[in-house]
C-alpha cells in the first residue's frame, strides 16, 4: 500500500477517534464505540501489516497501562480472536476514565505512525532532488 493511502487511513482513524472528545456520546456509547474502533484497528492491515506489529502496540498501549497479564501467544496468530478478546474486555471491565487514557495512547500511537511516514516521504523526495541535481550538475 502506498504511503499516501496509509497517511489517509491514519488521518481517517484519528478523525473517528476524535468523536470521543466531544459530548455527543455518553459514557456507555463511548465504550461501545471504542470497543468497535479498537477491533477495527486490530483488523486493519494498513496500520499493522504483520500480526507481530500488533504485539508491540498492545503491550505499550493496552496491557501495560491497564496492568493486565499478557495474552497467550495463540491469540496473536488470529486478529479476529485477539480483537474479540480485547473488545469484550473493553465492554465488560474498562471504566470510562481508563477508556479516555486508552484513547489518548492510541492517538499518540497514530500520530507517531503519521510522523514516521511523513518523514519517509520527505526523505524520499529530498533523495530524488539530490539525485536529480547531481545528474544535472554532471551534465555540464
Torsion of CA 97, 32, 16, 7, to 10 degrees: 90
Contact partners, residue 129, CB within 8 Å, separation at least 6: none
Q: Is the pLDDT of residue 82 over 60?
A: yes
Q: Is the pLDDT of residue 128 over 90?
A: no
Distance linking the first and last C-alpha atoms of the chain: 39
Q: Is the pLDDT of residue 136 over 70?
A: no
For residue 116, the model assigns a pLDDT of: 63
Report the alpha-carbon distance of residue 47 to residue 53 in Å, rounded. 9
Rg of the chain in Å (alpha carbons): 19
**For residue 124, which phi and psi values (nearest 5 degrees)?**
-60, -40
**Mean pLDDT confidence for 105-113:** 93
Say what the pTM is: 0.77
Nearest Cα neighbor of 116 from 38, 47, 39 is: 47
**Mean pLDDT confidence for 103-124:** 76
Q: Is the pLDDT of residue 105 over 90?
A: yes
For residue 115, the model assigns a pLDDT of: 79
Model pLDDT for residues 16-46, shown as the tens digit of each residue: 999 888 888 999 999 999 999 999 999 999 9
Give the least confident one: 11-25, 36-50, 68-82, 86-100: 11-25
**Mean pLDDT confidence for 96-118:** 87
**DSSP H helices in 1-140:** 3-17, 27-43, 51-58, 64-66, 79-93, 96-139
Amino acid at each position: 500500500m502506498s504511503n499516501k493511502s496509509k497517511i489517509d487511513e491514519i488521518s481517517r482513524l484519528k478523525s473517528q477517534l476524535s468523536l470521543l472528545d466531544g459530548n455527543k456520546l455518553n459514557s456507555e456509547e463511548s465504550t461501545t464505540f471504542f470497543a468497535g474502533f479498537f477491533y477495527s484497528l486490530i483488523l486493519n492491515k494498513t496500520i499493522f501489516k504483520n500480526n507481530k506489529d500488533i504485539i508491540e502496540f498492545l503491550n505499550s498501549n493496552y496491557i501495560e497501562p491497564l496492568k493486565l497479564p499478557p495474552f497467550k501467544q495463540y491469540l496473536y496468530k488470529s486478529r479476529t480472536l485477539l480483537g474479540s478478546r480485547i473488545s469484550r474486555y473493553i465492554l465488560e471491565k474498562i471504566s470510562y476514565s481508563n477508556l479516555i487514557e486508552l484513547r489518548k495512547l492510541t492517538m499518540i500511537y497514530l500520530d507517531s505512525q503519521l510522523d514516521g511516514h511523513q518523514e519517509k516521504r520527505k526523505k524520499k523526495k529530498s533523495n530524488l532532488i539530490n539525485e536529480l541535481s547531481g545528474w544535472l550538475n554532471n551534465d555540464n
